Structure formats: structure tokens, C-alpha cells
Structure 1
Amino acid sequence: MNVPLRRVATVVLVMFLALMVSTTYIQFVQADSLNSDSRNVRQIYKEYGNFRGPIVVAGESVALSTPIDDPYGYQRSYTNGPLYGHVTGFFSIVNGTKEIERTENEFLNGQASTLWIDRLQGLITGKKPQGASVELTIDPAAQQAAYDALGDQRGAVVAIEPSTGKILALVSKPSYDPNLLATHDTKAAREAYTSLINADDDPLVNRAISGNTYPPGSTFKLVTAAAALESGQYTPETVIPAPDEYPYANSTQTMKNFGGARCSPTGEQTLADAMRISCNTAFADLGVTLGGDAMRDQAEDFGFDSKLSIPMTVTPSHFPDAAVTDDAGQLARASIGQGDVRVTPLQMAMVSAAIANGGKQMTPYTVATVRGADLDVVQQNEPSLLRTSVSPTVASQLTSMMISVVEGGSGKAAKIDGVQVAGKTGTAEHQSGAAPHAWFTGFAPADNPQVAVAVIVENGGDSGNEATGGAVAAPIAKAVMEAVLNK
């Protein structure tokens, strides 16, 4: 063979080898990433061409797929979309997925490893695979009550069954209609998403579990009281300082009580009374006396600064580290839920749920059961202990103190006829010149807890600067607790 032919043969051989390597790389190494690429139109057709399982609440489908005569094959739709939007999320051709539609996607589209029998049967019979149904823990009555009671105010409501961790209600306002994003009209879907993303009130943000976390205000006094009681140095009847003003260390500034009120004519009162009237100066002094480490340890025992998914990812709540709390002034602010303390509404519901459950904090979850196309159970989520937050004795003491808040303190608007309610209000400053956030967290019945709840109404809602947690958030919590108890 002459030199030119050898060169041509070598070039052809190299080209064949390059083709084989690139094909092998694409088909095997890049296969998963290419299949999951949102720009892969073939993958989109494949995804929509199979029946996607429903998302179910109390036996009713709140997200479902129906056959449609277009290239995609099925249309995803949401019944009562805004009510469940921040739980179901959306499944969109151009906007991707969110919430349960995202976290449970492999079950819903039938590709989960536990559904291999269904896929095998499909290969044998030639029948297209079908997605599994995902049954949620949400109580429709509690969800509706939370949605209605929050009204047009910005904020969030979370309700938990204390003994199991089941999330009974998860509402974030403002909400949105997932149907607008699930439409097969790609232009309309893009415009709807752009409008939601650019909206000033951030309707796509799930305020209950993520986004910007909040200062908890006086609801955090539950954590401070727990740290004191757990130390063994305090009981509810221990008398603690409760001055008219608390002087910040190394500063001429002082902390005052809400509205400049006096907590006690003697400048001291019992821990229980300080909780009942939500005395700022008493809890500021108490937190500083306990120290940053004790406060931080107690916050972590309630779940602060820990990762969590329900299965949607939850933004961790935060108690400041030693670099901050070594400053006595910062620790004083943190001890009343101000300063650098930040929480999600879910976190404060978990605090109340742990107290309600004798100190044991159960893992919160929203997915109860996953069923295959034949309705056989392929996954059953069972209650599990997440951590022990406080001892049974301390839980009982905190419960008694929380009852006094509702019966004779700032939480009277959460009272339910014939039912003993335990709770704590909060009015949290968060920005100079802005109206405070209104908070309530608690549980009922106090002697046999069935539901724990947390409510936040941003910027005082309709009441603005006149808002308090007792006046604005407590009635919303009452409505949700009643909805669970009156089933």
C-alpha cells in the first residue's frame, strides 16, 4: 500500500474510532443527564406521554392527569389549585417541577426502583407504564380553615399531629394556581411563570417552609423557658428579675416591654407569670443568665440549625453562634426571639408539637402512602422519633405555662369552648419603620393534643402597626385547631 492510501486509511480508522467513542460516551455516560435535560423535547414527550399518577388528599385527587388529543398525550391539572399549590407544586412543560411534583417525581412518573414490577409487566404486555399515586397527610378541613382564615394577608400556617409528625395543613399566602403553569400552551405558561416570579409579593415562595425566614418574636420564649427548666435551676414558680427596662451591656440603650408596660411593680415575678404576660425584660435577663451555650443547645434540641425535608426541602431555622451571643446585648435580643434568630413557621409548629408530645419531637412528613397502578402499597411512611427536645417533666411545665397564656394572658383569642388550649403569642419587629409580624403557636386539647399549629401574618396583616400576635394570629390558629377537633 502506498503512502497516500495508508494516510487515508489511518484517517478513516481514527474517524471510526472517534465515532465509536463519542457514540458510546453519549449513549452510556451522558444518557442520564441528556434524558433529564429540560431542553430534551423527546424526553418531554416521553414524560407527558405516560400516565402520571395523582396526588391525593383524603381520597380525592388534587393533582391528576387526563388524556388529551395533542402531542403530549396527557394534561396535568389541579383541583382547587391555589388551596394546595404550595403542597403539590406544579408539573410544567416549560417551567419544570416544584414541591411534591418534584420530590416524588419518580413515583408519579412510574420510574422509581420500587415500581420495577409494574415496568416489567408493561414490557411483557406492551402496556405503557403508569405512575404511582401519592397520598398526602393533609387534612382538607384544616387546610381549608387555614387558607380561609389567613385570607388576603401575607403569611403562612402549619399544623402538625404531635404524636405522629403528620402535617395536617401547610398554607402559604399569597398562593398561585398551578394550572396556569401546567398548560400546554408554552407561551402562556412562560408568561404566567414570569408574572409570578416578578410579582412583588412572591407568590411562588413557600413561606411555611422556605424563602426568607422570620424573627419569631415572643414565641421563642418557649425555647428560653425550656432552657431554664431543663437546667434544673428553675421551676415555673421561680422568681426572676422583671425590670421595667433591661439595660444592654456596654450601651446606653435599654430594652423595654411591649408598649412600655410594667411587668411587675416589684421588678420581679415568677417564670410562669413572665410567660403569661410575655415579659421581654424578664426573658432577656433569663437568657443572658443561662448563657449562649445553654440557649443554643436548647434551640438545637428543638431542631434549629438542622437540615430537614418533608420531603420538600426546609430552610433551617437559626440561632446565632457564639461569635454573636458572646455579646450580652445580642444574647438578650436572641432570648426574646429578636436579633439574629430566624425561623420557619414549620419550626415553631415543631416546637409546640414537641412540647405537646411529652418532649418527643416526631419527624414531620407530608407523604403518607405511595400506591402502584394496581393500588398496592409500594411505600408506607410511618411515624418516627426525630429527637427528644425536653424531658416529660419540662414538657408538662411548659404546657401549664402555655395554658395560662391562652386562659389569662395574651392568647385569649385562641380559646375554644370546651377545649383547653395551650399557646404562645409573638409580635416580632423585623425592619425599621415596618409593621411587626404577628405570631401564634400552640396546641389542643392541652391534655390530649391532636393538633399543634404555628401562624405568622407578615407586617401585621390588615391591622398593620396595631397588630399583635394575640389579636391577629391567634384567631387563625383557633380556626385551624377547631377544624381538626370538629371532624
Structure 2
Amino acid sequence: MNKPIRAVSLFCMVLFLALMVNVTYLQFWKADDYNSDPANARSAEASFARERGLILAGSAPVARSKPVDDQFKYLRVYPKPFLYAPLTGYLQLGTQTGIERSQNDILSGEDPRLFVNRLVDMLQGDSNQGGNVVLAINQRAQRVAYDKLQETIGPDGEGSVVAIEPKTGRVLAMVSLPTYDPNKLASHNATERTRTYERLDTDDSEPLLNRAIQTRLFPGSTFKVVTAAAAIENGLYTVDDNVPSGATYQLPGTTGEQNVVDNEGRYLCDAAEVPFRTAMAQSCNTAFARMAVELGPEKMRAQAEAFGFNSEYLEDLPGQVESVYPTSVTDPGADESRELNDAETARTGFGQFEVQATPLQMAMVAAAIGNRGGLMRPYTVEELQTADYQTLESTDPDQLGEAISPSTASQLAELMVDTVDGGTASPAAIPGVDVAGKTGTAERGIAGAPPYGWFISFAPAENAQVAVAVMIQEAPGQQIAGGQLGGPIAKAVMEAVMEK
């Protein structure tokens, strides 16, 4: 064999080996990834050719498949579209979101636990059916949260409500407004799907966004419960102590009126020292700013992270963003970051500076206090089933850690009950029930822009059945105040869960 023929032979052999390696890689290592990729059109078309499982709230389907006379055989239908869209998401050719995406293997019937069911269907000549997903949602609480939020913020408003069962982490309600109709995105008409998606995607109010887990805002005074937790947990104060306050507080190391913290007219905060109970009930900015400086950024950060800040924890619904307590600051022109200074730390004490939280995160803070300090992993899926409703798996409660000691939780509960009984959180009061709550009205940092409204609560305070967070981002035509707008919503949701 002459030299040129030998070279060509070797080159062909190398190409053949490369081809075999690539085929092996695609067939054995990447096959599952490609099959589960929502952009895989062939896999997606196959999933439309069989009946997909139900998504259930209680026993009521909130997503189901119905037979149709076209190439895809089944159309995904959402009977209560606006109410559940932030949870269910939508299914269309090449795209899945929400529960439709996270639980796709069960719903499509591809989960290995459904192998026997698929085999029986094949032997009986029946078409393969997907399994069912049962949401953790309390239907009554979900409806009340949706209706009360919509009624409060109006048709052009933006906001969210989250309710959690403190002892388990079960998400009882998750509402985000504005919302959308997933039926139009699930249409088999490509033109209609594209037009609908483009309209929603370019809408400034972002209706496709699940604000409960994907919108981070300044939590304002609701974060004062985290500051108070850090102060009690670190032995700085107890519930019956006096704490430094004052009518105003010049932030350490600063000058100028823009760096002066005041109490927005709440005169009961003006004394040099006030009872801790008063500081919380009257939401004294100066007291919590001073408290944060006393603690320092490391202890403030450690306490925030113990409640879930700077971490991901929601495993069964995609898209959760981390809530933030700043880990460092990088000054303009600087090459390296630094720790927060006293002025910046002071602002974090009342939920400003760079502190950012989602409604789910603030509901978790309230829930942990109501659960005697135990922070539970939140979950939105209660159970996975076969197509004939046999249980495959139930979600077991999972404690992420102890955010605070039971003693600290008890003292915080006292402070928050006082805030409802005789302070800024009184709109959430329920006759005959001890309600623990905290308001928040957070500055946006934009001159002339209205604030964000927040409200967190749990009840009954001594044995919490429900914890709620309400976030009001926009309420056109109304003065936004966390207590006045958020309090009645939280009250209605708590009553729905407790069946009051």
C-alpha cells in the first residue's frame, strides 16, 4: 500500500471512530436529556399524541387534556386559567413552564414509576396515559387570596399573595397579578400562540411572571422581624427591654438630610429609648436602624440566611429567585468588594439598602416564627398519582433548619401580636384569635414613585395554622400602605384557612 492510500485509510478510520464515539454519546449519555428537552419537537409531538395526566387542586382538575380532531390528538385545557396559571404554567409544542415543566415526566407518563402502567396499557391495547399531580393548594384560600388582591389593587394593579402551613411548608395559596390565560398559549393554532405570547411577553406589567417567587423587592419594615430576631437571638435585647430609638438618626459616617432616618410622624418612637414592644408595634425606623448597627452586618446576614435569604429552596416549581441580604459592596471604580459599612447596615435594619425579598421568602419568615423557629422547605406538589388516582409519592415535610430558637420565636410572636392588637398591623385582627403581624411600606429609591406595600402574619399565634405574605407592587389610584391594603387581604386568607 503506497503512502497516500495509507494516509487516506487512516483518516477514514479516525472519522469512523469519531462517528462511533459521537453516536454512543448521543444514544447512551444524552438521550434522556434530549428527550426531556422542551425544545425537542419530535418528543413534544409524541407527548401530544397521548393523554397527559391531570393537575389537580384537591379533586378539581386545573389542567387536563381533551381529545381533538387534529394531528396532535389532545389539547391541553385549563378550566380555571387565571387563578392557577402562575402554578400550572402552560404546555405547548416545544415549551413547558410551571408545574407542566417540573412534573413533566409524571404528566407525560415517562416516569419510570409508571412503567408497569404503560406495560398494562400496551398489553390491553389502550393508549398510554400520564400520571396526575395533586397541588398542595387549599382551594378556598387560593380563591380568597385571588379575589381580595384583585379587589384591592384593581385591574391594572400588580401584586402577590403567598400562604404557607408553618408546620409542614405546604403552600396553601400562591397568587400573582396580573395573570394570563394559558389556554391561549396551549392552542394548536401556531399563529394564535405566537401572537398571544408576543403580546404577553412585551406587556410592561409582565403577566407571565410569577411574582410570588420571581419578583424581588425591598421588604421594608416587614424585615424588622428579622432584625428583631437577630437582636434577641444574639442576646442584645429581650422582649421586655427598652431599645435605643429617637425622633431622628443620622446614619453613622454620613452628613446631610438625605442620610437622616426618621419615623414618618410616629411620635411614640421619638424618645431616646422606647420599649421593644413599642418599637415593633409602631414600626420605629430609628430603633431598628440602631439595632442593626449594634449587631453588625455579619450577624444581620447570618440571621437573614437562617430564614432562607441568599439560597434556593423551592424544588417542585421552577423559577425561584434568591432573596438577598447583601454579602458585600463594590464602590464605583474599586477593584475589590468590601463589607457593608455602618450606614448601609443601618438601612438593612428596616429592609432597605440592597435587601430584596420575594413574597414566598417573607411568608417563610412568618411561618418559621409561627413554627417555633423551624424553617420548613416550601412545596407546591402534595402528591403524585397514577392515571387511576393511585398514590405514587406523597411529599414529606422537610425542615431546612432552625432559623431561631423556640424562645426567640415566642418573644417575636409576642411583639407581632402586640403589633396587631395595638399597632400598625391592626387591620389583620380577627375576633377571638391571636394574630401576629407586621406591616411594611418600602421606598423604591425613585423620587416621586409610590412605595411598595407589604404585610406578613400568622395565626393563631400560639399554634400557627397559616402564615401569609402580601406584596403590593402597584395599586393605581390608591395610596399604598402595607397595613391598610395588605392587612385585610392577609386577614381574609387566614380566615379562609382556619375556616372562620
**Aligned position for 1:63:** 63
User: Residue 450 of structure 2: which of 423, 435, 447 is its match?
Assistant: 435
**Aligned position for 2:460:** 445
> How many angstroms apart in 1 are the aligned matches of 2:397 and 2:368?
14
For residues 314-325 of structure 1, what are the structure 2 equivalents within 5 Å? 314-323=320-329
Q: CA deviation at 1:309?
A: 1.7
1:302 and 1:34, CA in 2 relative to 1: closer, same or farther beyond 3 A?
A: closer
Amino acid at match of 2:362: M
Between 26-35 and 39-48, the greater mean CA deviation after superposition = 26-35
Q: CA deviation at 1:32?
A: 4.0
1:35 and 1:272, CA in 2 relative to 1: closer, same or farther beyond 3 A?
A: same
**Aligned position for 1:414:** 428
1:123 and 1:397, CA in 2 relative to 1: closer, same or farther beyond 3 A?
A: same
Amino acid at match of 2:245: A
**Aligned position for 2:250:** 247
Between 437-446 and 39-48, the greater mean CA deviation after superposition = 39-48
The answer to whether the 8 Å contact 1:226/1:398 transfers is yes
User: Residue 458 of structure 1: which of 461, 464, 473 is its match?
Assistant: 473
Does residue 403 in structure 1 map to residue 413 in structure 2?
no
1:409 and 1:70, CA in 2 relative to 1: closer, same or farther beyond 3 A?
A: same
Q: Over residues 402-421 of structure 1, what are the superposed CA-to-partner deviations in whole Å (9 max), with x where a residue is unaligned?
A: 01111100011111122221
The answer to whether the 8 Å contact 2:248/2:263 transfers is no
Q: Over residues 296-352 of structure 1, what are the superposed CA-to-partner deviations in whole Å (9 max), with x where a residue is unaligned?
A: 111111111111124113211111125465311100001110000011100000000
TM-score by length of 2: 0.90
**Aligned position for 1:115:** 114
Between 116-125 and 265-274, the greater mean CA deviation after superposition = 116-125
User: Residue 266 of structure 1: which of 245, 260, 271 is its match?
Assistant: 271
User: Residue 352 of structure 1: which of 363, 366, 372 is its match?
Assistant: 366
**Aligned position for 2:333:** none
1:347 and 1:6, CA in 2 relative to 1: closer, same or farther beyond 3 A?
A: closer
The answer to whether the 8 Å contact 2:223/2:351 transfers is yes
Q: Over residues 202-221 of structure 1, what are the superposed CA-to-partner deviations in whole Å (9 max), with x where a residue is unaligned?
A: 000110001x4111000000
**Aligned position for 1:298:** 303
The answer to whether the 8 Å contact 2:45/2:93 transfers is no
> How many angstroms apart in 2 are the aligned matches of 1:276 and 1:265?
14
> How many angstroms apart in 1 are the aligned matches of 2:12 and 2:400?
63
The answer to whether the 8 Å contact 1:161/1:450 transfers is yes
The answer to whether the 8 Å contact 2:41/2:93 transfers is no
Does residue 283 in structure 1 map to residue 288 in structure 2?
yes
SS at match of 1:457: strand
SS at match of 1:338: coil
Q: CA deviation at 1:255?
A: 3.0
The answer to whether the 8 Å contact 2:38/2:96 transfers is no
1:267 and 1:113, CA in 2 relative to 1: closer, same or farther beyond 3 A?
A: same
1:25 and 1:365, CA in 2 relative to 1: closer, same or farther beyond 3 A?
A: closer
For residues 25-424 of structure 1, what are the structure 2 equivalents within 5 Å? 27-28=27-28, 31-32=31-32, 34-36=34-36, 40-93=40-93, 96-151=95-150, 152-210=156-214, 212-253=215-256, 254-313=259-318, 314-323=320-329, 326-424=340-438
1:41 and 1:348, CA in 2 relative to 1: closer, same or farther beyond 3 A?
A: closer
Q: CA deviation at 1:486?
A: 1.5
Q: CA deviation at 1:37?
A: 5.3
The answer to whether the 8 Å contact 1:460/1:468 transfers is no
1:9 and 1:51, CA in 2 relative to 1: closer, same or farther beyond 3 A?
A: same
Q: Over residues 342-388 of structure 1, what are the superposed CA-to-partner deviations in whole Å (9 max), with x where a residue is unaligned?
A: 11100000000000011111111011111112322111111121111
> How many angstroms apart in 1 are the aligned matches of 2:10 and 2:466?
76
Q: Over residues 415-473 of structure 1, what are the superposed CA-to-partner deviations in whole Å (9 max), with x where a residue is unaligned?
A: 11222211000000113121000100011111221110000101455424xx2111111
> How many angstroms apart in 1 are the aligned matches of 2:404 and 2:270?
32
TM-score by length of 1: 0.92
1:10 and 1:56, CA in 2 relative to 1: closer, same or farther beyond 3 A?
A: same
Number of aligned positions between the proteins: 483
Cα RMSD of the aligned pairs, angstroms, is 2.6
SS at match of 2:441: strand
SS at match of 2:489: helix
In structure 2, stretches of 5+ residues that fail to align are: 151-155, 330-337
> How many angstroms apart in 2 are the aligned matches of 1:361 and 1:13?
60
> How many angstroms apart in 2 are the aligned matches of 1:34 and 1:365?
27
SS at match of 2:278: helix
> How many angstroms apart in 2 are the aligned matches of 1:10 and 1:389?
65
> How many angstroms apart in 1 are the aligned matches of 2:453 and 2:7?
80
The answer to whether the 8 Å contact 1:276/1:410 transfers is yes
> How many angstroms apart in 2 are the aligned matches of 1:118 and 1:345?
39
Q: CA deviation at 1:11?
A: 11
> How many angstroms apart in 1 are the aligned matches of 2:7 and 2:440?
82
Amino acid at match of 1:198: T
Give % identity.
44
The answer to whether the 8 Å contact 1:132/1:373 transfers is yes
> How many angstroms apart in 2 are the aligned matches of 1:317 and 1:404?
27
Amino acid at match of 1:44: A
> How many angstroms apart in 2 are the aligned matches of 1:22 and 1:293?
50
The answer to whether the 8 Å contact 2:166/2:367 transfers is yes
